[in-house]
Structure 1
Amino acid sequence: MPLRRHWDELPTSLRREVERRTGVIVRADSVPEGAACEVAVTLQTPTGRVFCKGGRAESRQGWLYRREARINPWLPEEAPRLRWAVEHGGWLLLGFDHVPGRHPCLEPGSPDLKLVADLLATLARELTPCPPIDVQPFTERWRGLIAPELVDGDTLLHTDMTPRNFLLGDRLRLVDWSAPCRGAAWIDTAFMLVRLVRAGHDPAAAEQWAAEVPAFAQADDEAVTAFTDALVRLWDRAQRTSPAPHRGPLLDAARRWRAHRLSRRRPAG
């Protein structure tokens, strides 16, 4: 993760370029966690608050900022609007509508679970067919992990289903569209299902929750099982090559879901 920079550490000329869009910035509060970028800050402007993210334009994350800016106009209202993009002096900053709220609770019994399912159902419906933008096919991203026909589709997917990317205020919204793909409509729900298992759900109960999303309820059974196997292999490889504290619990959750799927194949007796 890149080193996080405070607003007053940025070049003066860059901050002035932003103020040409916002007016005089009266306060800047750094976001302490979440977004994997050099700059993540809430700006208080004369017309209200703006969430600003970004970093060096030629950094490893630079292409992610450009991609997020490119797809934002095509996203439904459940995603915050991009107000401006400033590229100046080797930096690229994006300014979004500020979304106040908390992250949803995914634990068993949480009232937030229905809101998450409803949002995933809405996104799958509104982003099918995929808008006419250039995004990576999921079949390409998972090349060699799964048979392409099992995950191919024409839905614009978010793919990063961490609860930190959901904000619940007056309504539930999904932020950080920096890793989109085009693929089968049920894939985002499958990614979230693993998060539910991580949060304490039994895999069978998590699947019952996921079935509230029509795209997942209609998914091919073989495709979902193959997805669990591919996910375990992908995350196992990531944990071995680049260990991280958050990966272990997620890998365990994916393994539990895969074991559940495979147990349904075994004959009784």
Structure 2
Amino acid sequence: MSADDATTPDPAPLAFSGQRLDWRDLPRSVRARIQELAGAQVTAEMSATSGLSPGFAAVLELADGRGVFVKAVSPEQNPQSPDLARAEVRAAQAIPPEVPAPALLWHDDDGDWVLLGFEVATGRSPLLPWRPAELRRVLDAMAVLSQARPLPGHQLITTAEHFAEDFRGWRALAGGPGSDLDRTAGWAAGTGDWLRTHLDQLAEWAGDATAALAGDRLVHADLRADNVLLDGDHVSLIDWPHASVGAGWADLMFLLPSVAMQGGGRPQEIFWAEPMSAGVEPEQLRAALAGLAGYFTYGAVQPAPVGIPNLRRLQRVQAEQALLWLAELA
């Protein structure tokens, strides 16, 4: 199937958000600890409106006039979220100064609640559908990231290790109940039928995904419009729990299915036009993209995780776009 054989998906913007706690929802002891770490009483909050993670995420205004962006999560919101918060601490400690990301000011972990305090990243999420000028600014910021190496002494794992299980999605679908594959057949753009007839080939390509993503650069691995803030000429790349060490072009590939689903253009054209793709062999891109598409597709047919009801829909629409792009490389 070529891209021309498929129906072009509706480029209408799709916004996704998680289930957030308010300041008053936090236990009194947690609020007291946050104020202790921040060094002042909290006088106001502005909850984050983007991102999928459950828990508390807000800019807190302090009595001394300062502000701090605070994340707070416990297993009650989602069993995996505390470990992701701990991973974000490790990531923040590995980000070099040239990467446009808010600095971690403090963190705390009592075994139940994990607390993170960041400098406030001002600005807004990109307008959707994507505006070409705003996408250009984000791609320029990513170009800086693509050249960055984690700070010495970091504790990040490789991108290959991070996605080793996730990139086995096609094998899991092939060995799972037929109903999972049947559910993909109804997806828009005809990609469900295409993947069913190419399942073995997709699994074979994805087997080379982790090797294709090997490298020594800092990889965010979860960049989308909701993980970017724009303020004048400044771009902030936020939410780093999936950070790893791998290929400098990996983030460009990870980003583009979401750009396509939100009206930003064709991934195939954008990818090869960016200097970040220099030196990438088409077979490398195909392998990594097959792994990513399998991750999205398998995830999309699983039950929704606790506290993140929108995740499966987000994975489904990104799977559609990844498969359309993959069909162009087939």
Distance 1:108 1:91 in 2: 36
Distance 1:152 1:97 in 2: 31
* Structure 2 unmatched runs, 5+: 1-16, 169-205, 305-311
Deviation >4 Å, runs of 4+: 106-109
User: 3-state DSSP class of the match of 2:67?
Assistant: strand
User: 3-state DSSP class of the match of 1:116?
Assistant: helix
For 1:251, the equivalent position in structure 2 comes to: 319
1:21 maps to which of 37, 60, 66: 37
Distance 1:257 1:43 in 2: 41
User: 3-state DSSP class of the match of 2:132?
Assistant: coil
* Structure 1 unmatched runs, 5+: 263-269
AA of the residue aligned to 1:8: R
For 1:233, the equivalent position in structure 2 comes to: 294
1:221 maps to which of 269, 272, 282: 282
User: 3-state DSSP class of the match of 1:135?
Assistant: coil
Pick which of 49-58 and 39-48 moved more. 49-58
Distance 2:303 2:111 in 1: 32
Give the aligned CA root-mean-square deviation in angstroms.
2.5
Equivalence map 1:56-67=2 (5 Å) = 56=74, 59-67=79-87
Question: Could you report, residue by residue, the CA deviation over 1:126-176 in whole angstroms, capped at 9, with x for unpaired residues?
Answer: 22x674322222222333533243221111211002210000013111001
Q: Is the 8 A contact 1:14 1:89 kept in 2?
A: no
For 1:265, the equivalent position in structure 2 comes to: none
Distance 1:99 1:192 in 2: 20
Distance 1:2 1:246 in 2: 11
User: 3-state DSSP class of the match of 1:241?
Assistant: coil
AA of the residue aligned to 1:118: D
* TM-score calculated relative to the size of structure 2: 0.71
Pick which of 157-166 and 219-228 moved more. 219-228
For 1:6, the equivalent position in structure 2 comes to: 22
Q: Is the 8 A contact 1:5 1:38 kept in 2?
A: yes
For 1:199, the equivalent position in structure 2 comes to: 262
Q: Is the 8 A contact 1:138 1:182 kept in 2?
A: yes
Aligned length: 259
1:51 maps to which of 69, 74, 77: 69
For 1:188, the equivalent position in structure 2 comes to: 251
Pick which of 149-158 and 25-34 moved more. 25-34
Identical positions, percent? 26
Q: Could you say if the C-alpha distance between residues 32 and 201 of structure 1 is closer, same or farther in structure 2, counting changes exceeding 3 Å? A: closer
User: 3-state DSSP class of the match of 1:50?
Assistant: strand
* TM-score calculated relative to the size of structure 1: 0.85
AA of the residue aligned to 1:136: I
Higher relative contact order (CA 8 A, sep 6+): 2
